[in-house]
Structure 1
């Protein structure tokens, strides 16, 4: 019965018309929206300027407190010692800074 109902909808064009309205116009490239790019912190906004290489081989700014108390560009977490982490993965984030207070 369900099969017959679906078939009749397809033949009637109801489903096809609805799908056609959802499809992009011909010639339009089907692209996913670009992921927001993580910005790197401005060294002038931070009190300390250390870096480390993570397990993936990426250069990452070490957790640092901001000069003005605002969230610096590129911060991914606020540590419990009030510093900001720029970690590229959650594992080990703020491990030497009391742990993660909040994710940004």
Structure 2
């Protein structure tokens, strides 16, 4: 009887792991969709609208938000991987919602 009990225990553990593996395999697709929505929410303003957006940085300074331009503007400190230009005054967090820094200016 001990052999059957051990077999049932192992079978149960195997079944639970299989179910958890299936659930885990489905999770990245859900995260992927969330990432896309999150990325779109932080898309920088296009200059064609004529309005420039600003944020207050960790030092309390008003800084222009990353913006798409055809060439770097005065004060730009980095080009982000989504091709927007950042005006960040510190390296930490620069282009964090824009794919990271493509190149420092």
TM bin, normalised by shorter chain, reads: 0.5 to 0.7
Residues in 1 aligned to 2:71 and 2:99: alpha-carbon distance in whole angstroms = 20
- State the partner residue of 1:77: 78
The yes-or-no answer on 1:53 pairing with 2:56 is: yes
Residues in 1 aligned to 2:62 and 2:91: alpha-carbon distance in whole angstroms = 15
Runs (4 or more) in structure 1 with deviation over 2 Å come to none
* Deviation of the 1:90 alpha carbon: 0.2
Residues in 2 aligned to 1:92 and 1:56: alpha-carbon distance in whole angstroms = 13
Residues in 1 aligned to 2:84 and 2:100: alpha-carbon distance in whole angstroms = 10
TM-score by length of 2: 0.52
- State the partner residue of 1:9: none
Count of aligned pairs between the two proteins = 58
* Deviation of the 1:71 alpha carbon: 1.0
Deviations 1:20-69 (A, max 9, x none): xxxxxxxxxxxxxxxxxxxxxxxxxx445110000100000000011xx1
- Structure 2: runs of 5 or more not aligned: 1-46
